[in-house]
Amino acid sequence: MSSRAILYLEDGTSFIGRSLSQQGESAGEAVFNTAMSGYQEVLTDPSYAGQIVIMTYPLIGNYGVNDEDVESDKVHVKGFVVKEFCRHHSNYRATQSLIDYLDENKIMAIEGIDTRALTRHLREQGAMKAIISTTDFDSASLQKKIDAVPSMIGADWVSKVTTKKKYIWPKGRKAGKTDKKYTVAALDCGIKFNILRILNDLDCEVHVFPASATAEEILAVEPDGLFVSNGPGDPAAVTYVVATLKELAGKLPTFGICLGHQMLGLALGGQTYKLKFGHHGANHPVKDLLDERIGITSQNHGFCVDLDSLKAHDIEMIDVNLNDQTLEGLRHKKLPILSIQHHPEAAPGPHDAQYLFKHFINMMETANA
């Protein structure tokens, strides 16, 4: 049963709506996502840990949820904001409604607000901390609670979402003889299942390591390549992963995605910065400078690598965002290191950029030749 709820932003702006049956409060960084579908993948993407997600598409939940379209073992968002939740989902794969799924996972969700006005406000003012509450509507009280919430800048969320112990994908498979052509060590900074599925389909046995794994532990499995995953928070705060990547630079063909791309940029001598409102959605145009190909990509990041900080380190840009000209991909001119800011695994989103995984395979092929 729904009840009155408030979404209060740190600049004092507020929106009144209705909650689902979950009552209470939840705070995080408010960001908007422009995808029209893929909400279950968004909810279960570890990169959204610590964030309240606003969907810009007005009706969400029309195809329900199922047991397959998840990107991790649980829902990671701090809150979910839509214009309207669909009450009558329809899809042959659905196992339950989105509303029941959110309530089952105890996620604060709010509907009935003007998400267009909210999105425009965040575009103009930038991503900011927010709180959803069904129990407190006092501005002074809510402001005090928001002020106590840590900023996303300087926050290490990777330690909260990484695996606790090493495993081989698919989970449960034991170490030993494999018929896979390549062995890949993956640093789990918030890795998505579809990345692992794609690597597995490309003939890779993937050994997934906690983000805290040392270079020695990674090299011990004698991998053909290193994959550095997506994840939440500020890349500059994940100093232990950056240190490991510095130690491994040049020793293994390396491919990074999203947060992995940013941490590789730091390991190679660059710097990162916070974007005003980030890139979150499944419709961002990116140009591949290697073959002049333009693709529509899935994106989810609030930080960016500063290309100017890398120009003296044998780094070249290979992908550029056509909306704001920010860096979307880089490679080292001498070492087998490649990284992409967007999500070529496309979960959710278009498949235009999945070919980038083949570049990683080619790097391993060349190293083994």
Q: What is the pLDDT of residue 332?
A: 96
The answer to whether 27 and 78 are in contact (CB under 8 A) is yes
d(CA 262, CA 270): 9
Assess whether the region 3-147 and the region 158-368 belong to the same CATH fold.
no
Question: Do residues 297 and 323 touch, judged by C-beta distance below 8 A?
Answer: no
Q: From the candidates 284, 332, 342, 343, which is the catalytic residue?
A: 343
**What pLDDT does residue 111 have?**
97
Give the domain ranges of the chain: 3-147, 158-368
The stretches in the chain having pLDDT less than 50 are none
Q: Which residues contact 234 (CB under 8 A, 6 or more apart)?
A: 152, 153, 154, 155, 156, 272, 274, 303
CA distances from 359 to 57, 76, 199, 248 (A): 34, 30, 12, 19
For the 158-368 domain, the top CATH level (class) is: alpha beta
- Establish whether the linkage from the previous residue to 235 is cis, with ω within 30° of 0: no
Asked if 223 and 202 touch (Cβ cutoff 8 Å), the reply is no
Question: Looking at residue 177, what is its pLDDT?
Answer: 59
CATH class of 3-147: alpha beta
Q: How many CA atoms lie within 13 A of 12 on its CB side?
A: 1
Interval 317-353: pLDDT, tens: 999 999 999 999 999 999 999 999 999 998 899 899 9
* Per-residue pLDDT at 322: 97
Is residue 343 annotated as a catalytic residue, yes or no?
yes
Note if 351 is an active site residue.
Answer: no
Report the mean per-residue pLDDT for the chain.
95
Token code pair at residue 281: 């959605």
Q: What is the pLDDT of residue 8?
A: 98
DSSP 325-346: --EEEEEESSSSEEEESSBTT-
From 76, 258, 261, 301, active-site residue: 258
